[in-house]
Amino acid sequence: MAGADHLTTIISTKGQVFLPSAIRQRRDWRAGTRLVVEETPEGVLLRPVPAFPETRPEDVFGSLRLRGKPKSLKEMDAGVLAEARK
């Protein structure tokens, strides 16, 4: 992000902050993009809202029905490796 450190913006009377177009284009942030605003020790961090809520393994374990014989760890590893090679 060469040059991005020197970009500046202004806070409007309504509290709006305008992001320079170069940053919006690099990040592919279009009008309507929802951003999480997080205060950090270094300043304010903006990042896009995740498309899906965070899910913990315990939230989804057992949600799919098993059909057939369970796969062994060796079979699962082989399947993952085969897909990675594609």
pLDDT 10s digits, 6-49: 788 999 999 999 999 999 999 999 999 999 999 999 999 999 99
Q: How confident is the model at residue 33, as a pLDDT? A: 94
Question: Where in the chain are the domains?
Answer: 4-48
Q: Above 80 in pLDDT, residue 2?
A: no
The first and second tokens of residue 1, run together, are: 């992000």
Among the listed residues 40, 44, 42, 50, the one whose alpha carbon sits nearest the alpha carbon of residue 17:
44
* 64 or 1, greater pLDDT: 64
Angle (CA) 46 48 53, round 5°: 125
Residue 3 pLDDT > 70, yes or no?
no
Whether the Cβ atoms of residue 75 and residue 83 lie closer than 8 Å to each other: no
The pLDDT value given to residue 72: 92
Query: What pTM does this model have?
Result: 0.53
Domain 4-48 CATH class label:
mainly beta
